[in-house]
Amino acid sequence: MSGVPDSHLEAEIAEQPEVVGHLVDALQPRVGRLRSWLAGRRVTHIVLAARGSSDNVARYGQYLLAIRARLTVGLATPSVQTRYGVTPRMDGALVVGVSQSGRSPDVVGVLEAARSQGRPTVAITNALDSPLAAAADEVLHLDAGEERSVAATKTYTASLVAMAMLGLALGDEPTGTERDELAALPALMERTLNATRAGSAEALVGAATLVVTGRGLNLATAHEGALKIRELTGMRTEAFSPPDLLHGPVAAVAAGDPVLLVAPAEPSIEDQRQLAPTLRERGARLAVISGDRDLLDTADIAFALPEQPAPWLTPVTAVLPAQLVAAEMARARGLDLDRPVGLRKVTETR
Amino acid sequence: MSGVPDSHLEAEIAEQPEVVGHLVDALQPRVGRLRSWLAGRRVTHIVLAARGSSDNVARYGQYLLAIRARLTVGLATPSVQTRYGVTPRMDGALVVGVSQSGRSPDVVGVLEAARSQGRPTVAITNALDSPLAAAADEVLHLDAGEERSVAATKTYTASLVAMAMLGLALGDEPTGTERDELAALPALMERTLNATRAGSAEALVGAATLVVTGRGLNLATAHEGALKIRELTGMRTEAFSPPDLLHGPVAAVAAGDPVLLVAPAEPSIEDQRQLAPTLRERGARLAVISGDRDLLDTADIAFALPEQPAPWLTPVTAVLPAQLVAAEMARARGLDLDRPVGLRKVTETR
């Protein structure tokens, strides 16, 4: 898509390669220190706490950290504390909070509880002076600049990258290849943004609902794509992993319904290849974000990914076409891209 | 609702009090032995593995076990193993698999991995001769009889009760009050089924979409209600906790859209009380499952719960009106209640 952006949202989408490049440079030198610190803390499992778009960062972390650290990773349930008055023991846990504003009280509460039990805590946030940063032993500061659009874009991809770099501080010593793969991200993001042609979302604009599928590392991308389109357009969207879709919700996919398959080059693409014929049989219209020729050829609406990053980093580029589609659909519907109806930037849920 | 059921689904909905009564009697004597066994295993956190309706049982377990055992509880991510070839270390974990058929290969895989690491494993299943039961140290057998309808009802509530009883084997010694609360369930379920009047779902039949909200212990009920209505009617339904809804998806709730609030008598009812005015402002039509006079009075469609169980057991009765609504809507739409379009009883996802 081209031209001078005339919304904060579009400007922030375009800023992402630069923000990520800056972040990778800033965090690379800290990975070694984080490793030593975590190695001394006898971590047996990981707990992630987040809300909203950050919850999708946590979904990525749930797979990425499990794969890299070879540990189980769970998502926190803040209401156990805030509604039922029980603070779970976190023996053995590394506790990670993700919040761009750092002001989500329930996420802060989980980190404070962990810290009071002497467990190691990490914050991924865009606000160094936030309560979340104050509650953390280590802060991975996104330094993405102010996000003026209500819908998160640059803080989302930056948070993914911060999570990926936290992954390098766990499990095996990071390799030179992994460091190179991180360093290659900004250029690949730029190419992906440029490859998504304006007008490609046209076929989706009139749809009433949209199902988005993704699995494993890219379950996060499916959820974030669905959330972004919903936030910006008011369209009803939903995200599922292919197995969860097949376990029931597929019953609601009718002839003509659009389904968006997020299928970048990583092992879970296999599930999308298996899912596509089932959706076809039901008469669904297939939209596909992928670099895979066969999947793109079978699609009614194809978002072709150019050169892709290493599998563990695919969520960072695969979400970009979804962001652009959301913006384009909102514009086509005549909506305000920076202030979606009914949304606030910080929602102080407990 | 009344009359002789002429579908397996309706018969199985009606059977639930009896199934649960039988299960409580069968498991009560085993709680003590389970406690001793678990006490010897040095459990520091819990991992739950499930799919489909059973995933909603796991959602209940995530809160119930965290509250009772005062431990963190995470949901397993089977694709870490099946797609990325990594078996996470589960040091300190109790691993619980939930599957009525016991034949979900990804759930079985998580239990087998835990067992090979010497971790304690528990299966909640309706099939004693299943691979899941074979992979577990302890099997909580639902003994609910064959479930002939594709949509799970009696195995869902029975699995909730088995999960609740597993909770009694963790944390503080169970009290006589807790045992009495379990024993009271069948009668309260019967009363709840009788209190849901035929025709009460009429106002929802024509809706195209439905959002269902619930939090904490009853996030599971919201998800299961949404899944049941979707499976049986093909209607597009979604479940959210009130904070997650407010963090973005609320943008898609438009004037006239129905929202079903699951608000039985437990602490998370507070979130529903706070959510209702926001939904009203957006012009949503409120349907409410609750025993709370104020919430019911504010509702456009009221499903009044009669006498309710103790807070920890509210999901067992609160789901019943949702099951009846799903069945009634399917019937009104002229659909086959026992064989929803596009669904199979066992989906062998890996």
Give residues with Cβ within 8 angstroms of B126, minimum separation 6: B100, B101, B102, B141, B142, B143, B144, B147, B155, B158
Rounded CA-CA distance B113/B41 in Å is 17
Q: Rounded mean pLDDT of A149-155?
A: 94
- Given this model, what pLDDT does residue A1 score? 46
Query: Using one digit for the tens of pLDDT, what is the confidence trace for B287-338?
Result: 999 999 999 999 999 999 999 999 999 999 999 999 999 999 999 988 888 8
- Given this model, what pLDDT does residue B1 score? 46
Which residues in chain A are contacts of B267 at CB distance < 8 A?
A: 83-84
ipTM over 0.85: yes
Q: Measure the CA angle with vertex A182, ends A181 and A185; round to 5°.
A: 90
Report the predicted TM-score, pTM, of the whole model to 2 decimal places. Answer: 0.94
Q: Rounded mean pLDDT of A293-313?
A: 96
Residue B207 has pLDDT above 90, yes or no: no
B267 CB near a chain A CB, below 8 Å? yes
Which has the closest alpha carbon to B232: B158, B301, B153? B153
Model confidence band, residue B135 (pLDDT cutoffs 50, 70, 90): very high
A243 CB near a chain B CB, below 8 Å? yes
Q: Rounded mean pLDDT of A159-168?
A: 98
Which residues in chain B are contacts of A241 at CB distance < 8 A?
A: 79
- Given this model, what pLDDT does residue B67 score? 97
Each as own residue / partner, the long-range contacts of residues B280-283 (CB below 8 Å, 24 or more positions apart, any chain) are B282/A342, B282/B250, B282/B253, B282/B254, B282/B255, B283/B254, B283/B255, B283/B256, B283/B257
Each as own residue / partner, the long-range contacts of residues A108-114 (CB below 8 Å, 24 or more positions apart, any chain) are A108/A132, A108/A135, A109/A78, A109/A81, A109/A82, A109/A350, A110/A47, A110/A49, A110/A76, A110/A78, A110/A81, A111/A49, A111/A135, A111/A136, A113/A81, A113/A87, A113/A88, A114/A47, A114/A90
Q: Pick the residue from chain B with its C-alpha nearest to A44.
A: B91
Model confidence band, residue A348 (pLDDT cutoffs 50, 70, 90): low
A216 CB near a chain B CB, below 8 Å? yes
Q: Measure the CA angle with vertex A166, ends A160 and A169; round to 5°.
A: 155
**Helices B314-332 + B154-168 axis angle, to 10:** 170
- Given this model, what pLDDT does residue A2 score? 46
Query: Using one digit for the tens of pLDDT, what is the confidence trace for A79-106?
Result: 999 999 999 999 999 999 999 999 999 9
- Given this model, what pLDDT does residue B344 score? 61
E-only strand ranges, chain A: 45-50, 72-75, 93-98, 121-125, 138-141, 209-213, 236-240, 258-263, 285-290, 301-304
Query: Using one digit for the tens of pLDDT, what is the confidence trace for B181-200?
Result: 999 999 999 999 999 877 77
Residue A235 has pLDDT above 90, yes or no: no
- The reply to whether residue A343 touches residue B251, judged by beta carbons under 8 angstroms, is yes
Residue B78 C-alpha, separation from nearest chain A C-alpha, in angstroms: 9
- Given this model, what pLDDT does residue A115 score? 97
Model confidence band, residue A349 (pLDDT cutoffs 50, 70, 90): low
- Given this model, what pLDDT does residue B350 score? 58
Among A88, A90, A251, whose Cβ lies nearest the Cβ of B340? A251
Model confidence band, residue B208 (pLDDT cutoffs 50, 70, 90): confident
Q: Rounded mean pLDDT of A282-291?
A: 96
Q: Measure the CA angle with vertex B173, ends B168 and B178; round to 5°.
A: 55
Rounded CA-CA distance B302/B258 in Å is 12
B210 sits in which H/E element: strand B209-213
Query: Using one digit for the tens of pLDDT, what is the confidence trace for B223-275?
Result: 999 999 988 988 888 899 998 898 777 877 889 999 999 999 999 999 999 99
- The reply to whether residue A51 touches residue B253, judged by beta carbons under 8 angstroms, is no
Rounded CA-CA distance A217/A235 in Å is 25
Model confidence band, residue A29 (pLDDT cutoffs 50, 70, 90): very high
- Given this model, what pLDDT does residue A350 score? 58
Residue A347 has pLDDT above 60, yes or no: no
- The fraction of chain A above a pLDDT of 90, given in percent, is 81
CB B100 within 8 A of CB B155: yes
A94 CB near a chain B CB, below 8 Å? no
Residue B2 has pLDDT above 50, yes or no: no
**Which pair of structure tokens corresponds to residue A27?**
């965090």
Q: Rounded mean pLDDT of A156-165?
A: 98
Tell me the pLDDT of chain B averaged across its residues.
93
Our separate counts of H helices and E strands in chain A read 15, 10
A4 CB near a chain B CB, below 8 Å? no
Which residues in chain B are contacts of A342 at CB distance < 8 A?
A: 250-251, 253, 282
A11 CB near a chain B CB, below 8 Å? no
Residue A341 has pLDDT above 60, yes or no: yes
Among A88, A235, A248, whose Cβ lies nearest the Cβ of B230? A248
Model confidence band, residue B52 (pLDDT cutoffs 50, 70, 90): confident
